[in-house]
Amino acid sequence: MSFGSGGSGVSGRGVGVFDAVVLAGGGARRLGGVDKPGLRVGGRALIDRVLAACGQARTTVVVAVPREVAREVVWAREEPAGGGPLAALAAGIAAAGGAEGASAVVVVSADLPFLDEAAVRALLARLAEGGADAVLARDAEGRDQPLVGAYLRAPLVRALAEIRAGEGELTGLPLRRLTSRLTLDHLAEEGGAPVSFDCDTWGDLAAARARIREHGHVLNEWILAAKEELGIDLDVDIRVLLDLARDAAHGVERPAAPLTTFLVGYAAGRAGGGPEAVAEAARSTGADVWVMAPMVSVPAEARAFAERARAHGLPTVGAMVEVPAAALRAGQLAEVCDFLSIGTNDLAQYAFAADRMLGSLAELLDPWQPALLELVRQAAEAGAAHGRPVGVCGEAAADPLLALVLTGLGVTSLSAAPGCLPAVRAALATRTLEECRTLAGLALAAPDAVAARTAVAEAAGGTV
């Protein structure tokens, strides 16, 4: 949270209990219609990050099609669906009790990666000081953000009723119709991670992920997400964890992806550490365990890892393609491995010499970059030539439109967050393999990422 000095927390109007309304039903047009609330930043879906920030709310209403989220909420939907933010807000207020709920309502969108409980408390504290119907976050450009704000319920409900009475309906109306009827105060953001920063484009998403890495939170975020998913409760010593993971991954000194690191380290730690522990876990559970070496640069590294893993009874061994050298020598990797997995996030970083911690270089990390797709094509074709499956992990696999291109490039599997799977599955079900190859050709021929996405979206006819 990075608001300037503001609310003192003096509860002049007794604004303690509050409700929250989260708007999560937008079309994400600038992201190609992808499931934006389900996109992950720092190991958690955007919507779960926002819900955590509103965790102290008496009632939290999410205005969207119901989905799996990290905590219990009330679901609502504007009529008609897609009626715009004002109609969605009215539906959320109604589901939160209408005029009868808590005296304050926090209103936020579901794509705010840096919103946290401290920011919510600051907005409510300023509102409690009195003198305004609503307190909005003000961004660095001096613009008030109505979807990052705390509102007094009574004037909010009254203003919505007045607009409906005057207009007949709320569908398609902008939020300024509401804010113009309210007395507003604001809290100005300052440096660091801006509270009102939202993820409208792939560049925004890359910048958010880079900023979270820059501030050193990413491994802790992934560990938290993994513990919640696995239903385990334990304290984690990150240094010991990384040591165990490194042992299990053939002494690789360059860090693996955080979730992989956690799962490998956790399994090894439970059984005493090392690749023997992973193999024993596989034997005792009867699981079909596949292991892979991260950050492989030359075939010799893959060969040494495969030999050691197989010697310990782990027969299915792969390598991650995360650096350009691995993509260019994917055929030789496939000779000694059973599968390949392309990590598009790291591959883009090293291919374009663009540090993922620098938000100013986010455009170079766009997974639609034709040069990156060319490296994916080379690795996929090398795998096919040796009869090896080649998967893609990373946020690229969560984009339904890009999933068609990756399939056309020869990728055989996609690894994405559970919330993204229905949209990706639906997109793939609408196309033949030959159609996917045609779309892939358009992306490869484009001069840049924006042109690649535009060409594929136009050829796909807007059905994805």
pLDDT band, residue 92 (cuts 50/70/90): very high
Contact 156, 105 (CB under 8 A): yes
Domains of the chain with CATH codes:
18-188 (3.90.550.10), 322-464 (3.20.20.60)
Is it the case that residue 11 has pLDDT exceeding 90? Answer: no
Is it the case that residue 329 has pLDDT exceeding 90? Answer: yes
Q: Bigger pLDDT: 169 or 159? A: 159
Cβ atoms within 10 Å, residue 74: 16
pLDDT at 280: 65
pLDDT 10s digits, 392-426: 987 788 888 999 999 999 999 998 766 677 788 88
pLDDT 10s digits, 223-254: 665 666 566 666 656 555 555 555 544 444 44
Q: Bigger pLDDT: 34 or 152? A: 152
Is it the case that residue 257 has pLDDT exceeding 50? Answer: no
pLDDT at 385: 96
Q: Bigger pLDDT: 22 or 9? A: 22
Looking at 143-147, 171-175, 206-210, 453-457, which range is the least confident one?
206-210
**Tokens, residue 6:** 């503001």
Task: Please state, in angstroms and rounded to a whole number, the distance separating the CA atoms of residues 363 and 14.
Answer: 46
pLDDT at 250: 41
Task: Please state, in angstroms and rounded to a whole number, the distance separating the CA atoms of residues 422 and 338.
Answer: 28
* Mean pLDDT confidence for 129-145: 89
What string of DSSP letters covers 289-318? -EEEESS--SHHHHHHHHHHHHHTT--EEE
pLDDT at 220: 60
Q: Bigger pLDDT: 406 or 195? A: 406
Q: Bigger pLDDT: 313 or 431? A: 431
Mean pLDDT for the chain overall: 82
pLDDT at 464: 44
pLDDT band, residue 262 (cuts 50/70/90): very low
Task: Please state, in angstroms and rounded to a whole number, the distance separating the CA atoms of residues 311 and 276.
Answer: 9
Is it the case that residue 80 has pLDDT exceeding 70? Answer: yes
Task: Please state, in angstroms and rounded to a whole number, the distance separating the CA atoms of residues 54 and 394.
Answer: 28
pLDDT at 315: 86
**Tokens, residue 408:** 């056309």
pLDDT at 364: 84
Is it the case that residue 191 has pLDDT exceeding 70? Answer: no
pLDDT band, residue 125 (cuts 50/70/90): very high
pLDDT at 35: 80
Read off the pTM.
0.56
pLDDT band, residue 146 (cuts 50/70/90): very high
Looking at 1-15, 40-54, 266-280, 392-406, which range is the least confident one?
1-15
pLDDT 10s digits, 30-69: 676 778 888 878 767 899 999 999 999 999 999 999 988 8
pLDDT at 277: 63
Query: Please, which residues have CB within 8 angstroms of residue 263's CB and are 6 or more apart in sequence?
Result: 226
Identify the sign of the CA torsion 224, 226, 227, 228.
positive
Burial of 334 (0-12, 13-18, 19+ CB in 10 A): buried
What string of DSSP letters covers 150-209? EEEHHHHHHHHHHHHHHHS--TT--THHHHTTS-EEEEEB-SSS-TT----SHHHHHHHH
pLDDT at 230: 60
Looking at 307-321, 344-358, 366-380, which range is the least confident one?
344-358
**Tokens, residue 273:** 């550490």
Query: How large is the greatest C-alpha to C-alpha distance in the chain, in angstroms?
Result: 76
pLDDT at 139: 86
pLDDT band, residue 148 (cuts 50/70/90): very high
* Mean pLDDT confidence for 425-432: 90
Q: Bigger pLDDT: 262 or 300? A: 300
Facing residues of 186 across strands? 136
